[in-house]
Copies of this chain bind each other. A is one copy, B any other.
């Protein structure tokens, strides 16, 4: 998911008269001159296009089907997963738990390289800091939000919305395992409260070797044909015992055939398909390019850092993987926005809507000014973007997505110390009572940090900070003083004690008093940065975000007025269903088939990373049925965040595991091209076959395929 650059993060809306309007439109909606299509879209469980699904696929989702799939589906960090046994066993991607696998590894036992298999229940290893969420109830709270924000604007509006959000999320959290989130759909058209059950004890059960989980590595990433066993099995625990999970997905032994309906249940992170032209122009010309240039440089740094030797390669591997993946993803998104025909479509859709609005004086009066207001706010946001990126956006001096955990700990402790002294409704949203348990879990999780690597990353970050803002920027002077990035980074990382969980716990429990008394250099640095960050954030939220929010809401209302509700909301990292057909696509001069086989992996391998299969595969090659389907593609609409999503057949059985999209899917944040966008999935038949024949994971195959552990 992209980082919160100005103009990209938003929440909130003012919906005074809006509530009644929506209710009327919901019934009127279908096929009213709108571009909506059932083959596109990530639909909330409670807002499915039932008529379209029946018409196109002959598929009727019963309430029981939906409830079962919803409760079997999981949110895992920024990704997805599903329960696959009654005893809490869950399936997700290897690349979604890279971080867990790396944290559990050491110089002498590298589970990335060796793979991991807990032969007994006792060998299952807790993933530090990892929790998963299972969606329970969804409640429409649009009216409550509207009641407190009506008539307000700017800072007052933000404050009221924030307070109501804190109240709603806290009220909803009736037991310690519950975790609640206010979700804004259609850019403020609807507010719903999502109540999750949170499992904070999740343990690693099985992961294959990275060489086959990510076979083809970065060169093959976002491409197809593909040959990846990108899976991991974990288990949710409650009270120290495997969780009981009666809702879980049954395993299909037959998989899907070409042209069959495939249903994807996951948590697409964020899309920008309802953004205005000016917002997308900013992203295309500035936001994405700035981020990409930083990422490219960081990537060059990381890959060269890894050349220091085997240990450097190991400790940096998780970071390198994430950066490579994100880089390719963002570059694909930028390329899509930079395609003249693609962007012409964006402009055309906006012009159509504006023309429709302008055709009726009452609409024009109500909504007509929204686009220009957003353009102006966007220009203001652009002038703050660079400062935002370095001072308040990502927590630490670093390209977005890079991780500098020690400074991150310090910033969290400093902020939390101050925020927790305030009333729940007055806090920054990330520090409300409803959010603290997950925050605390992440902060206090064990995380092995190698000093040399932490120094190098922070040096890189401080150098780019100085370059980006200039050596004379007051913030840069405050941070660096007369030190070089190398000196400062070294003294901070060598001087801090925040790498110890005990020290973090002491400061967390001690609250602001403990933080203020600390002489830890990382804490002192975070304190010295805090004022500038808060000031920038306040300015951004009050001067820009409030304008964007209010006018986005106007456009959402206009869209409902003109087209009805026959469209899906932009993705919000919450559970959605996508529907599509298993099929390949055409490239100039060739057709890409829908399936690959296990045998294809052996043909593609060169013996050199990233095209080297692990020893276990080479040893058992003769025992494999090489025509077993391995990976496949479907035209279901997925984006980042869908990684680890189960693919279901119409019976709701598990037939695959989403782990990627093709190159064409990288424009998916901004639009969907059914001719070529494809999701890439791992076939259940390959999972079963390799667990049985290569990994001999009897304990798991029995649990998975017989329903009994």
Contacts and interface: CB of A to CB of B under 8 A. Distances in A.
Nearest to A459: B307
Given A297-B299, A456-B307, A607-B482, A470 B338 contact: no
Interface stretch (A178-186, A217-225, A569-577, A618-626): A217-225
Interface in A468-500: 470-471, 482-484, 487
Contacts of A34: none
Interface stretch (A1-9, A288-296, A344-352, A525-533): A288-296
A380 to B, nearest CB: 14
A606 interface: yes
Contacts of A302: 300
27 contacts: A216-B471, A218-B467, A219-B466, A219-B467, A219-B470, A289-B289, A289-B292, A289-B338, A292-B296, A293-B293, A293-B296, A293-B331, A296-B297, A296-B300, A297-B297, A298-B300, A300-B301, A300-B304, A301-B301, A301-B303, A304-B304, A304-B305, A482-B606, A482-B608, A483-B608, A484-B608, A487-B608
Contacts of A470: 219, 223
Contacts of A294: 296
A43 B219 CA distance: 48
Instruction: Give the number of copies in the complex.
Output: 2
A490 to B, nearest CB: 12
A286 B463 CA distance: 27
Contacts of A471: 216, 219-220, 611
Of the candidates A285, A292, A482, A611, the one having the most CB atoms from chain B within 10 angstroms of its own CB is A285
The 3 closest A-B pairs by CB, nearest first: A300-B300, A296-B296, A300-B301
Of the four ranges (under 10, 10 to 19, 20 to 34, 35 or more), the interface on chain A belongs to 35 or more
A139 B611 CA distance: 59
A609 interface: yes
A491 to B, nearest CB: 13
A463 B299 CA distance: 13
Contacts of A300: 296-302, 304, 460
Contacts of A334: 289
A484 to B, nearest CB: 4
A292 to B, nearest CB: 6
A454 B707 CA distance: 58
Contacts of A606: 482
Interface in A546-580: none
Nearest to A464: B300
Interface string A580-613: 0000000000000000000000000011110100
Nearest to A609: B484
A534 B575 CA distance: 53
Contacts of A338: 285-286, 289
Contacts of A285: 338
A541 B220 CA distance: 32
Contacts of A467: 218-219
A204 B486 CA distance: 33
A219 B484 CA distance: 12
A298 B470 CA distance: 22
A218 B467 CA distance: 8
A301 B607 CA distance: 26
A336 B7 CA distance: 21
Nearest to A292: B293
Nearest to A612: B484
Contacts of A303: 301, 463
A471 B216 CA distance: 9
